[in-house]
């Protein structure tokens, strides 16, 4: 018989215990609806969605020892690179009905799939079909956000993330930046690439809180968590 416990430190994150194994999960904001074929477990009247670390880099970071988790009920989030909504859907579960996720995706085809699978069933997501290089075009975003999450796998992703933070992230807000080292430089050592991107963040007024590598779930990827000091 499965059991569930809330994470001690991360608001909205749960651990489903089955056959002696703990699996990270969130409580489904759209009961009965799945987004990416994830497994669901019904316990004490609540439906939990098992969060797959091989499909979501945020889940991989949690399993690899993430210490700073800026999302909580009511958080306002700007999410760059929504894709078809795998990670966005779990963030949407966590911030709940009082929170909001502004989700940016530049491919209209991908954005349509995202809307069909995910946004249709959740009132706390605003889809923005735009290029993250041009945050001045986001008409849907209102006010400042608490968190910017960036996972766009582009060579200039750090610069793009910084530009978005300048416009939309509040002071002391958190930037979570996924770095795919091969998108930046295919030959350079990933550790060196991660260091160079961290340096760009520091030079632009961010304090690095943690760098967490995502192997074995995602090879040559890291998540850099930083705080906007200005
Ligand atoms: N974050 C997603 C998840 O965990 O479910 C996966 C994101 S996938 C690695 C990168 C996505 O970013 C793709 O869907 C791609 O179309 C989108 N993307 C890439 N460059 C972009 C840009 N400049 N503006 C907006 N979206 C972009």
Structurally, what CATH architecture does the domain formed by 3-52 represent? 2-Layer Sandwich (3.30)
- Tell me, what's the pLDDT at 61? 98
CA-nearest residue for atom 3, ligand 1, is 87
Cβ atoms of 79 and 55 within 8 Å: the answer is: no
- Cα 46 to middle of ligand 1, angstroms: 31
The alpha carbon of 19 and the centre of ligand 1 are apart by a number of angstroms equal to 35
Residues sharing a CB contact under 8 Å with residue 219, sequence separation 6 or more, in sequence order: none
Domain boundary assignment for the chain = 3-52, 59-228
pLDDT (0 to 100) of residue 55? 98
pTM for the full model? 0.97
Q: Omega before 216 cis (within 30°)?
A: yes
Q: Which residues contact 191 (CB under 8 A, 6 or more apart)?
A: none
**Quick one: what percent of the chain has pLDDT higher than 70?**
100
Backbone φ and ψ of 211, nearest 5°? -120, 125
Q: With b meaning 16 or more CB within 10 Å and e meaning fewer, what string describes 5-24?
A: eeeeebbbbbbbeeeeeebb
Q: How many CB atoms lie under 10 A from the CB of residue 216? A: 11
Of all protein residues, the one whose alpha carbon is nearest to atom 13 of ligand 1 is 83
Q: What is the CATH number of domain 59-228?
A: 3.40.50.150
CB atoms near residue 220 (< 10 Å): 18
How many angstroms separate the alpha carbon of residue 210 from the centre of ligand 1? 22
The low-confidence residues of the chain, meaning pLDDT below 70, are none
Residue 163 structure tokens: 């530009």
What is the per-residue pLDDT for 185?
Answer: 87
pLDDT of residue 56: 98
Q: How many CB atoms within 10 Å of residue 196?
A: 15
* Angstrom distance (rounded) from CA 41 to CA 84: 22
Ligand 1: lining residues by beta carbon, under 6 Å: 56-57, 81, 83, 86-87, 104-107, 110, 131-133, 151-154
């Amino acid at each position: 018989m499965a059991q569930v416990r809330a994470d001690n430190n991360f608001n909205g994150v749960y651990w489903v215990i089955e056959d002696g194994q703990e699996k990270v999960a969130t409580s489904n904001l759209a009961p009965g609806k799945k987004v990416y074929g994830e497994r669901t477990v019904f316990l004490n009247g609540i439906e939990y969605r098992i969060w797959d670390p091989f499909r979501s880099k945020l889940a991989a970071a949690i399993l690899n020892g993430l210490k700073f988790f800026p999302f909580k009920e009511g958080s306002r989030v700007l999410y760059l690179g929504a894709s078809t909504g795998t990670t966005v859907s779990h963030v949407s579960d966590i911030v709940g009905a009082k929170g909001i996720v502004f989700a940016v995706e530049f491919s209209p085809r991908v954005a349509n799939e995202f809307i069909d699978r995910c946004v249709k069933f959740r009132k706390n997501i605003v889809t923005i079909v735009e290029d993250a290089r041009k945050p001045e075009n986001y008409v849907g975003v209102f006010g400042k956000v608490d968190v910017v999450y960036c996972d766009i796998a582009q060579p200039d992703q750090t610069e793009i993330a910084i530009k978005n933070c300048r416009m939309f992230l509040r002071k002391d807000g958190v930037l979570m930046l996924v770095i795919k080292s091969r998108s930046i430089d295919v030959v350079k050592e990933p550790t060196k690439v991660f260091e160079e991107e961290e340096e760009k963040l520091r030079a632009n007024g961010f304090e690095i809180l943690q760098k967490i590598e995502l192997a074995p779930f995602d090879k040559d990827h890291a998540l850099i968590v930083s705080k906007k000091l200005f």
